């Protein structure tokens, strides 16, 4: 698939087939694409990736998130069998740079996933409560002094393949 074709085809999925796993080799390719992202100051040791294929862990995050939000438990991962969490060091070179870095890593993974025929979505909401649950973060192997800032859910949609959208200047823009 050509790069622009993958960009046009990328689309958030919110109905993954929980019983259809992503082959490890494909996950590896997606994670490698994430690692190829630009990183502010090239501070590569300020990021950590956690590839989670454990339903028990995802269930625990769902419980923790629902408790923190005081809502009924629901699946914030939309049934995805794989979620890659991007964590950032608490100490950063500039305010907010960890979110920019994580976004670059995640978008690379989403485009690579689309290229590989793996459906995907960028997730933020489910990570906020997790960041405060240090016990669960430790259980997930997230290094001390790091906190999760974003995640990419991966899997296969129950609704079939997404149709490519036409590339257009669809955000407010001016050319000078």
Ligand X SMILES: Cc1cc2nc3c(=O)[nH]c(=O)nc-3n(C[C@H](O)[C@H](O)[C@H](O)COP(=O)(O)O)c2cc1C
Can you give the binding site for ligand X, defined by CB under 6 A? Answer: 11-12, 14, 121-125
Instruction: Give least dist CB 21 to ligand X, A.
Output: 21
Nearer to ligand X, 125 or 143 (CB): 125
Whole-number Cα distances in Å, 50 to 46, 70, 147, 150, 162: 14, 26, 11, 11, 27
Residue 110, both tokens: 């989403």
Between 58 and 175, CB nearer to ligand X: 58
CB of 176 to ligand X, least distance (A): 26
DSSP assignment string, 65-96: HHHHHTS----TTTT-SEEEEEEEESS-SSTT
Give the CA diameter of the chain.
52
With contact defined as beta carbons under 8 Å apart, do 142 and 148 qualify?
A: yes
Q: How far is the CB of 30 from ligand X (least distance, A)?
A: 16
Q: Which is nearer to ligand X, 117 or 176 (CB)?
A: 117
Pick between residue 116 and residue 121 the one whose CB is nearest to ligand X.
Answer: 121
Nearer to ligand X, 45 or 166 (CB): 166
Q: What is the nearest approach in angstroms of ligand X to the Cβ of residue 123?
A: 4
CB of 51 to ligand X, least distance (A): 19
Choose between 46 and 114: whose C-beta lies nearer to ligand X.
114
Asked whether 121 and 153 are in contact (CB, 8 A), the reply is yes
| Residue 100: closest CA among 154, 39, 52 | 39
Other CB atoms within 10 Å distance of the CB of residue 61: 26
Q: Which residue is nearest to ligand X (CB)?
A: 125
Do 142 and 9 contact (CB within 8 A), yes or no?
no
Give least dist CB 129 to ligand X, A.
11
């Amino acid at each position: 698939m050509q790069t622009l074709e993958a960009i046009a085809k990328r689309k958030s999925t919110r109905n993954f087939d929980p019983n259809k796993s992503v082959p490890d080799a494909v996950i590896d390719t997606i994670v490698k694409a994430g690692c190829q992202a630009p990183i502010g100051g090239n501070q590569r040791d300020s990021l950590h990736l956690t590839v989670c294929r454990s339903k028990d862990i995802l269930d625990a995050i769902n419980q923790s998130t629902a408790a923190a939000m005081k809502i009924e438990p629901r699946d914030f991962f939309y049934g995805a069998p794989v979620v890659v969490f991007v964590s950032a060091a608490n100490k950063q070179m500039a305010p907010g740079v960890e979110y920019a870095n994580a976004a670059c890593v995640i978008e690379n993974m989403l485009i690579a996933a689309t290229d590989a025929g793996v459906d995907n979505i960028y997730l933020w909401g489910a990570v906020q409560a997790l960041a405060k649950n240090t016990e669960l973060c430790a259980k997930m192997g997230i290094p001390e002094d790091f906190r999760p800032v974003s995640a990419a859910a991966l899997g296969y949609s129950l609704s079939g393949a997404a149709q490519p959208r036409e590339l257009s200047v669809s955000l407010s823009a001016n050319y000078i």
